[in-house]
Structures are given as C-alpha cells and as structure tokens.
Amino acid sequence: DTAVSQTPKYLVTQMGNDKSIKCEQNLGHDTMYWYKQDSKKFLKIMFSYNNKELIINETVPNRFSPKSPDKAHLNLHINSLELGDSAVYFCASSQGALQPQHFGDGTRLSIL
Amino acid sequence: GESVGLHLPTLSVQEGDNSIINCAYSNSASDYFIWYKQESGKGPQFIIDIRSNMDKRQGQRVTVLLNKTVKHLSLQIAATQPGDSAVYFCASNAGNMLTFGGGTRLMVKP
C-alpha cells in the first residue's frame, strides 16, 4: 500500500547509456514531480506535471524527458547519461500546487 | 538552519530535550512553508506546514513558527527521541514551486 513508489531503487550504469525511472502514486493526486538530490543533500525540483500536463521545467537538460501516461504515473527517461547525473532522484505527488508533497524513497543513480 | 554551504549544519541534542531547527527564506512573496524529515535511505517525509496568514501551528510534538518580518521559520520538536534523528528540510514556495533549504542534521544522544 505504498503511496508513492518508484523503481528501480538503485541504478548503476555506464556513461552514454539511456535509462528510465518509473514512478506511480496511488493517492489520487493530480500533481506529480521529479526532484534531484545531490551528494550534499540539496534537493532541487526538475519537473512538475498536473493531470498529465507539464507545468514546471526547471532548466533541466533536454536529455531528461518526463512522460506521464496518466495522472498516477510520471516516468523519467534520461538519454546519454553523464557523470554529473549521479544523484538520488525522487518522485513526489500532491493534491495541488501548495499542498504537502508525498515523496517516494528515491532512485540512486550511479554513473560509472 | 537553511544553508547552501558545503556541509550540512548539525544539531546535537540529548534525548528528552527540546530541539529547535531554524530556517531562513529569501522570497518575501512566499506564502506557504513546509517542514520535511528525511531518514537515511528514505524520501522526505512531510511533518507540518504553515501558511502566511498564521505565525504558529502545532502538531504532535512539533511546532512551526513563522516570522515573516525577518523571513524566518523554525521547527520545534518537544521531548526529542532517538527516532527523530534525521535531516530536516524547510521549503517555501516561489509561485507554485517549492524551494528547499539545504537541510539540518539532527542527532539525538541517548
């Protein structure tokens, strides 16, 4: 009965590869997010979707492409992975823009 | 408190004492503020939020204080327990987007 679940939990891959992270929420929320947390624990928003539509794109390289097949899912596809992409990526959801966001447990991406 | 420095500020408290974690925000137009707790290997977990029409809000063992004049937010944890050990983040809104502070690590000594 996990509220926000993301897979995989760990992702180790080589530079230049393409990978995807999946996120699903069962809270019935309209808004979903992707955040990146660096090694210093700094948490920065990447994207926000409301009802499958992109509403926030925070100067993220276009190698990152979010896809929302329905309002319960927001997947993140990353092309041509670079060393600097190594981080923990969190998916979150909320009922609305200024409502508490519920986070998944993160995907730790390590680029070799 | 909020930090964009190279390391996490750390607050070390004795079990049973009260903890106060501080946060400064910069956007005077912010009207929504929220505190999160992040344990190792987990995602941030919602603790409490407050809107700008209030200056204090209480939850179970936690109180958030908002001082809009000096753009300061604090989280008070009463009777701190070992399970409270975590990194705590404040966040404030810029329009419809949340901006997170740099986090404070709370360590509880038994």
For the segment B31-77, what is each residue's pLDDT rounded down to a tens digit? 999 999 999 999 999 999 999 999 999 999 999 999 999 999 999 99
pLDDT score of B7 more than 80: no
| Residue B11, strand partner residues | B106
Using beta carbons and an 8 Å cutoff, which residues of B are at the interface with A? 4, 6-8, 31-32, 34, 36, 38, 41-46, 49, 51, 87, 89, 93, 96-100, 102-103
In A1-112 the beta strands, taken as DSSP E runs, fall at 4-7, 10-13, 19-25, 31-37, 43-50, 53-57, 64-70, 73-78, 87-94, 102-103, 107-111
Of residues B92 and A57, more confidence is placed in B92
Of residues A77 and B6, more confidence is placed in A77
Q: pLDDT band for B3, please (50, 70, 90 cuts).
A: very low
pLDDT score of A57 more than 60: yes
Lowest mean pLDDT, pick from A96-100, B13-17, B101-105: A96-100
